[in-house]
Chains A and B, each alone.
Chain A
Amino acid sequence: MKDMLASMRTPRGLFTVALLLVFALLPLLTEAFGQRYLLSVGTRIVIWSIAAVSLNMILGYGGLVSFGHAAFFGIGGYAVGILSANGLGSGWLQWPVAILASAAWAAVIGALSLRTRGVYFLMITLAFGQLVYYLGSGLEAYGGDDGLNISRSRFAGLIDLRDKASFYWLCLALLCATLWFCSRFAVSRFGLVLRGAKSNELRMTALGFPVFRYRLAAFVVSGAFGGLAGVLLANEGAYVSPAMMSWVKSGDLIVIVVLGGIGVLFGPLYGTVAFFALEELLKPGLDLLHKGWGEYWQVVFGPMLVLIALYARGGIDSLLGRRDG
């Protein structure tokens, strides 16, 4: 407890606490300033943060560059969508099914992909992501390429997901739960094995750890949380489509994790906020420079990513001061 209070006084701690405070108060703030639109941006940031934290579990702690993580958006989302289209609207059914389906998919692709190494791993996960994408666009009965409008999951009497503020707080609570799990996971026996295998796989095997099994388990856990993010994303827009699992979205997730700081608990949070905030800031900023330039904000954003890759290793987290241990 004392340690926690001390770490809160560092710039990193203050920044994180301030960020969480803004998150907690966002519905009240947007209401007070009449910026309803910002609440839905905030909701998406929270959901994407959950997905990014889940990717960080395998990418950051496991060192496994998985390029197909958006597939879990899709599987989680489509599970909700397909059940809802068939008249099964209860969240008590939809959510567990969606999360189990995502975990099952993670088990299958993990078992196959983890046989490969390095860039082949990156490519095979990308290919599996594309496979799900094309399966989604081949689902003619559920809208094909155009996607599917769905009704939001029902939790009778408990919470109405149509209410924007309630839904936001639910997402935030789930993000906090995910972060809590990740913080335990990172220092648990399991997490240490995963991190040890990232550091030196051969060494861990020689110590007697069946590394493959632990990585596969990490994949499944990560996939389950990714599926949860998909469930939330589907409920946010009341809509699912193959576009939510295109490889560009998987790329976005990697960018977010690297941008925030890989293998850092709050890194995905920093990364998601920066990723979304940059868009909201660059547009008006460029418009100020010259009317109409705001539309082309990615001409600035793209090279920024290049510069971050080249010169800001460790991402935003490393800008918040040195880290010990």
Chain B
Amino acid sequence: MDYLLIQMLNGLQLGLLMFLLAAGLTLTFGIMDLVNLAHGSLYMMGAYIAWTLIAWTDSFVLGALLALPATFALGVVVEAVVMRRLYARDHLDQVLATFGLILFFNELVRMIWGPAGKSIAVPAFLSHTVEILPGVPYPAYRFALIVVGVIVAVLLAWLVARTRLGMLIRAGASNRRMIAALGVNIELLFSLVFGLGAVFAGLAGLMAAPISSVKIGMGDDILILAFVIIVIGGIGSIKGAFVAAMIVGQIDIVGRAFLPDLLKTFMAPAAASSAAPAISQVLVYILMAGVLVWRPTGLFGQRS
């Protein structure tokens, strides 16, 4: 029972991280109609920039806080140099160009930081455990991730639901031409949304760093998972991205945790524990296929 609770918390924590990554992606997708494969690169850059700034300031919190405006700036630059020219293009051109950006960023990281991965230590003040229930310890850093994830999700929900920027974002996701007709400075809006997406991706990358590692290509596979989430949720829908991220987080972690036992009933134990992560991934993709067959534009997507 305690084991299940801890695994579900891990699933929640992964889901929240995935939500951060997916939120920016679903916005750029929904509003700018942009297939941005390079979103995972921003996740990676966030982690690497944070690694450098944490080493430089010798403080996790300070380094992380400085990394956020840095990834925002990076996002705005990428938007201005490349993305802006892609909005009106078909998806194939977007795939080609942003695929090129992935190669560029992966190699750039190798040039600057070298081929070996980096690690960011869990900050000392979060390296203990907290008791989530009497007698059930949970790592404080992971707990903090959940707290930060929830805060950011609430903040984002507030931003989208209550502010003028959010109003424009919602209008843009459902009808791109409408915001142009409202006399809004589209270029500025797009640049802001893209920068915001970059910050969330970077935040996800740097928060994930202490529990995984900072390495080249770290964003490539997780990007696909983020795509799966926004497609399940419905492109352009923040709510959809959140719901789908929660589901995918649970499937991934709980699958990893419980599949081995299940598989051991008919497989060799060693084989079962190494096949389980792959199979829990497969479950996620089967879920996506099922959702799309059932609702071809996702759970909360616009019907065409």
- Residues of A whose CB lies within 8 Å of any CB of B are 59, 65, 67, 112, 115-120, 122-124, 126-128, 130-131, 134-135, 137-141, 144, 247-248, 251, 254-255, 258-259, 262, 296-299, 301-306, 308-310, 313
Which chain B residues border A115 with CB–CB below 8 Å?
A: 292-293, 296
A299 to B235, CA, bound (A): 31
Partner pick for B102 among A144, A262, A302, A313, CB 8 A cutoff: A302
Cβ of B192 under 8 Å from chain A: no
Which chain B residues border A122 with CB–CB below 8 Å?
A: 35, 91, 95
Which chain B residues border A116 with CB–CB below 8 Å?
A: 292, 296-297
A65 to B90, CA, bound (A): 11
Q: Are B107 and A302 in contact (CB under 8 A)?
A: yes
Query: Quick one: CB contact mask for B80-109 with A, threshold 8 Å, 1 for yes?
Result: 001001100101111111011111111110
Cβ of B126 under 8 Å from chain A: no
Q: Are B293 and A123 in contact (CB under 8 A)?
A: no
Q: Are A140 and B274 in contact (CB under 8 A)?
A: yes
Q: B232-249: which have CB < 8 Å to A?
A: 235
Q: Which single residue of chain A is at the shortest CB-CB distance from B290?
A: A112
Q: Which single residue of chain A is at the shortest CB-CB distance from B270?
A: A140
Q: Are B82 and A306 in contact (CB under 8 A)?
A: yes
Which chain A residues border B150 with CB–CB below 8 Å?
A: none
Which chain A residues border B105 with CB–CB below 8 Å?
A: 302
Partner pick for B104 among A118, A139, A302, A313, CB 8 A cutoff: A302
A14 to B35, CA, bound (A): 37
A112 → chain B, closest Cβ, in Å? 5
Partner pick for A140 among B102, B275, B293, CB 8 A cutoff: B275
Which chain B residues border A305 with CB–CB below 8 Å?
A: 96-97, 99-100, 103
List 23 interface pairs A-B (beta carbons < 8 Å), by A numbering.
Answer: A119-B29, A122-B35, A123-B227, A123-B231, A127-B231, A127-B285, A131-B282, A134-B281, A134-B282, A138-B282, A144-B275, A255-B96, A262-B92, A299-B107, A302-B105, A303-B100, A305-B97, A305-B99, A306-B101, A308-B100, A309-B94, A309-B96, A313-B93
Q: Are B100 and A306 in contact (CB under 8 A)?
A: yes
B83 → chain A, closest Cβ, in Å? 10
Which chain A residues border B147 with CB–CB below 8 Å?
A: none
B107 → chain A, closest Cβ, in Å? 4
Q: A122-B35, A254-B92, A310-B97 are in contact. List 6 more A-B contacts (CB 8 A).
A: A123-B228, A138-B279, A251-B99, A297-B107, A299-B108, A301-B100
Q: Are A67 and B95 in contact (CB under 8 A)?
A: yes
A258 to B228, CA, bound (A): 24
A292 → chain B, closest Cβ, in Å? 10
Q: Are A306 and B231 in contact (CB under 8 A)?
A: no
Partner pick for B92 among A65, A137, A144, CB 8 A cutoff: A65
Partner pick for A126 among B101, B227, B278, B297, CB 8 A cutoff: B227
Q: B202-232: which have CB < 8 Å to A?
A: 220, 224, 227-228, 231
Cβ of B304 under 8 Å from chain A: yes
A316 → chain B, closest Cβ, in Å? 13
Knowing A124-B231, A134-B285, A138-B278 touch, does A298 contact B104 (C-beta < 8 A)? yes
Q: Which single residue of chain A is at the shortest CB-CB distance from B231?
A: A123
Nearest 7 CB-CB pairs, A to B? A305-B100, A302-B104, A138-B278, A302-B103, A309-B97, A298-B107, A309-B96
Q: B277-304: which have CB < 8 Å to A?
A: 278-279, 281-282, 285-286, 288-289, 292-293, 296-298, 304
Cβ of B111 under 8 Å from chain A: yes
Q: Are B224 and A130 in contact (CB under 8 A)?
A: yes
Partner pick for B224 among A117, A138, A247, CB 8 A cutoff: A247
Which chain B residues border A301 with CB–CB below 8 Å?
A: 100, 103
Knowing A130-B281, A134-B282, A298-B107 touch, does A258 contact B91 (C-beta < 8 A)? no
Knowing A123-B228, A126-B227, A305-B99 touch, does A135 contact B278 (C-beta < 8 A)? yes
Q: Are A251 and B95 in contact (CB under 8 A)?
A: yes
Which chain B residues border A112 with CB–CB below 8 Å?
A: 289, 292-293
Q: Are B96 and A120 in contact (CB under 8 A)?
A: no
Knowing A116-B292, A119-B35, A299-B111 touch, does A137 contact B278 (C-beta < 8 A)? yes
Cβ of B110 under 8 Å from chain A: yes
Which chain B residues border A247 with CB–CB below 8 Å?
A: 220, 224
Cβ of B271 under 8 Å from chain A: yes
A251 → chain B, closest Cβ, in Å? 5
B14 → chain A, closest Cβ, in Å? 17
A168 to B110, CA, bound (A): 35
Q: Are A118 and B278 in contact (CB under 8 A)?
A: no
B181 → chain A, closest Cβ, in Å? 24
Q: Are B85 and A296 in contact (CB under 8 A)?
A: no
Query: Quick one: CB contact mask for B22-55 with A, threshold 8 Å, 1 for yes?
Result: 0000000100000101000000000000000000
Which chain B residues border A127 with CB–CB below 8 Å?
A: 224, 227-228, 231, 285, 288-289
Q: Are B107 and A126 in contact (CB under 8 A)?
A: no
Knowing A138-B275, A302-B104 touch, does A128 contact B282 (C-beta < 8 A)? no
Which chain B residues border A258 with CB–CB below 8 Å?
A: 92-93, 96
A252 → chain B, closest Cβ, in Å? 8
B41 → chain A, closest Cβ, in Å? 10
B263 → chain A, closest Cβ, in Å? 10
B99 → chain A, closest Cβ, in Å? 5
Partner pick for B235 among A65, A67, A119, A259, CB 8 A cutoff: A119
Knowing A65-B91, A119-B35, A313-B93 touch, does A302 contact B288 (C-beta < 8 A)? no
Which chain A residues border B102 with CB–CB below 8 Å?
A: 302
Q: Which single residue of chain B is at the shortest CB-CB distance from A109?
A: B289
A130 to B134, CA, bound (A): 41
Partner pick for B274 among A67, A131, A144, A262, CB 8 A cutoff: A144
